[in-house]
Each structure stands twice: as C-alpha cells, then as structure tokens.
Structure 1
Amino acid sequence: MDEKPDANDTGRPRRRRRSRQETEADLLNAARRLLQRDGVLAGVNLREIATEAGVNHGQIYQYFGSRQALLRASVADLVDRQAADKEPQFWDLPFAERRAAMFRHRLAEPEVVRLEALLALDGDEGVNALPRFARTRRSLERDQREGALPPDADAVAAHVMAASALVGYVIFREAYARDTGIPLDELDERAEHAYARMIAGLTGGTPTGAPDDE
C-alpha cells in the first residue's frame, strides 16, 4: 500500500510546508495587520506577529534579523507595489500637478506614511523618506527647464517641504479632525485645496484643483 505523505503519525493531514518567500510574505502581512489594528506607535511585538502569521518566532530573526528590518521590509514592499500600480504616471507631470496627485495618492494609502514615521521615530537610519530621489531630481530639473518651477527656485527644498507638509497631514489628519470638529472627509477636501495654494506659492502659478470661485 502506498504511503500518504500528507499525513503524520496521528493520522492528521500534514500542514504543507511553506516556502521562504511565502513565510516572509505572511510575516509582512501580519505586521501590517497588527500595525493597522493597534497603531504604529503602540509598539510591535515580534511574538504576536509570529503568532498572527502562523510561524515560529525564531523565523523572524532568521529571515529579517530584527524588528526594524521587518518593518523596513514592510515599507519597501508597500512602496514597490504602489509604484508598480500608480506612481509611474506621476513622474512626467509638472510640479504642481505631481504634488496634487501625490496628495491624493498618499491620502488613499496612509499605511506607508505611518510605517515610515514609525521607523524614523525608532531611530532607524535605513529609513528612506525620499524613495527614488534620483528620478525625482530629474523631474525637478525638467520642472525648472520648462517653467513649472521658477528658474531661481531651490527645487530640492521645495520638494522636501511639500513632501513634509503632506506627510504631517496624513499622519495627524484624524487627530486634526477630532480637534477641529470638522468631519474627516470635509477636512481632507479643504486640506487638499489649502495644499494646492501652498504649492502655487512655490511655483508662482494658479492652485491646481482650486474651487471655481477662487
């Protein structure tokens, strides 16, 4: 009689052995779920992540080496997936339109912003706050050549300040809504118009996406 390789000595079916790639993906997904549930500043318990992913606690160190490395991998995974889905269309837009598109993109995908903030607050020197900056720099140089930014503008500083204003809003938007008493959807809309005015101040142009009566 043939042996049944999918059964153990107790007669119960053996659990299929996961590949390293599958285990890493399970750990990344578990980390993101717990961060969404508990908040990025609640701390990350590696044993809880392992339990959530259904893996041995030691495999986190085996595959990632540290808590920071696991979180950094989560950020990199999210950024890569977002870039594949959405970001490429941003690069060819003029500065103001690019920032408006990034505002909507970051608002729709706040998880990456929160993970990046967690890593930065935890002192992780490997955190990459400006991913693909070489490509961004080329876009900024084009902006100045084509007049989307003034020729005498500090394009890099403009990008950094625009990015930091957006990141700050995404992180604190729910607290801002509570403190101001403004419904979150309404605050998001008003913040987007205010952000467009800020960007217009950097470019010397008309706010992108401003209401008709402005």
Structure 2
Amino acid sequence: MGREPADRSPRSRNATSRELEKAALTLLKKDGVLAGLNLREVADLAGVNRGLVYHYFGSRGELLRAALRRDSERRSDSYRVDPPGRTVVKRIELWTRMSMKYAEQLRLVAILLLDGGTRVRLMPRRDVTQHELQDDQEAGAIGPNVDLIALHALLQAHGIGYAITRTQLAKEFGIGVRDLDARMVELMERIAVGLESDRD
C-alpha cells in the first residue's frame, strides 16, 4: 500500500475508483455473492494494479459498499426523471418496477445489511420521498389517516423483499418471473388506489 504516484490527478483517481466499483458489481453478478469477491479479478477486470483496490478502498467490504452506494445513487437518479405531477398510483407502480429492474443490486444491499453494514442506505431519497407522500396526502391522493412513514417503510420493504425472492417465488408458484412481476405491479396499483379511499 505505497503512496499513489504523483502524476495521478483526482479525475483519474475517480475514474479508477469507478472502474473498480463497476468491475466488483460485474463479478458479483456473474459469479454470485457466495463465490466471494476476488480482488485480483476485480483489479484485472478494471485494468489496474491490485494494490489500488486497497489504496482507494481499504478493504473488500468498503469496495462493495462504495460500489453499491454509487449504484444506489444511479438508481435514485433513474427515479428522479419521473415527471412532476405523476399520480401516487403511477409512482408506486414505478417504484415496484424499479425494484424488479435492480433486483440484483437490492440483493447485494440485503447481504450487506445482514452482514452488519451500518453505512448502507436503504432510502437515499428518504426526505424527498416523504415530502412527495406528504404532498400526495395534502392533495387527497392518500387518505388523511395513512401513516406516511409506515407507508414508505412498507414500500421499501416490499421492494427489497420482492427483489430478493421473486425468482424463487415464481418457481414455487410454477409461473414465469415476468408473469409474477406483472401480477405484482397490478396488485401494487390496486393498493395505491386503496390509499385514496382511507377517509375515516
């Protein structure tokens, strides 16, 4: 773990870090989490010296956390392109579809949590989402008696839980994953519509 060469600019360090993070996620997706993360293979795939993994991240776990953090930001950015004024029903549908699209990354997040990862953020947009839910409630799209924190937690837990189990669930039900996904989206839309009717 020698010193970084003097001619490496912060930009090239950032680019190298990104390549290492991308390589780590690629290998985990290809080989599976239980195969472990071989740092030599990560460095080879990123096209850098293995020592840079330790220099930039300090450990295999920190590399994985950084890769997941960046991936989580990317997913969050994908959600942000949602046009203003989209109904709560459509946003919940989008939320459900995003959990399906990023199922592999959500499985990795779950593993980090189970491994005691306290720096993992399940809700990188927590404040923004809570504000959107409050706006929906004030506009009457969500009933006044709906607990918004519990709703947010339910949606988050549903997304991660479904992402982790969807393939096995489809197998046990004897249907295709895409068929189950479509059914889940439809059910989540119905649940979202039901949020409007809580007027007691």
Q: TM-score, normalised by structure 2?
A: 0.83
- List gaps (5 residues or longer) in structure 1: 1-16, 206-214
Letter in 1 for 2:63: L
Q: 3-state DSSP class of the match of 1:149?
A: coil
Aligned residue in 1 for 2:177: 184
Aligned residue in 1 for 2:3: none
Give the paired residue count.
189
Answer yes or no: is 1:77 the counterpart of 2:70. Answer: yes
Structure 1 residues 164-173 or 39-48, which shifts more?
39-48
Return the alpha-carbon distance in structure 2 between the equivalents of residues 185 and 51 of structure 1: 35
Aligned residue in 1 for 2:146: 153
| 4+ residue runs over 6 A deviation | none
Deviation at 1:155, TM superposition (A): 0.7
Q: Deviations over 1:77-123 (max 9, x none)?
A: 22333333442416643332211111122222323312311221221
Return the alpha-carbon distance in structure 2 between the equivalents of residues 41 and 145 of structure 1: 46
Letter in 2 for 1:152: N
Residue number among 115, 126, 134 corresponding to 1:133 in the alignment: 126
How do 1:63-212 and structure 2 match up within 5 A? 63-89=56-82, 92-204=85-197
Aligned residue in 2 for 1:7: none
Letter in 2 for 1:69: E
Deviation at 1:41, TM superposition (A): 4.1
Aligned residue in 2 for 1:33: 26
Identity %: 38
The CA RMSD over aligned residues, in Å, is 2.3
Work out which structure has the larger RCO, using CA pairs closer than 8 Å and 6 or more positions apart in sequence. 2
Q: Deviations over 1:139-163 (max 9, x none)?
A: 1211111111111211110111122
Aligned residue in 1 for 2:5: none
Deviation at 1:125, TM superposition (A): 0.1
Q: TM-score, normalised by structure 1?
A: 0.78
Aligned residue in 1 for 2:4: none
Return the alpha-carbon distance in structure 1 between the equivalents of residues 178 and 52 of structure 2: 41
Bigger share in helix: 2
- List gaps (5 residues or longer) in structure 2: 1-7
Deviation at 1:74, TM superposition (A): 1.2
Residue number among 17, 35, 55 corresponding to 2:48 in the alignment: 55
Aligned residue in 1 for 2:37: 44
Deviation at 1:138, TM superposition (A): 0.9
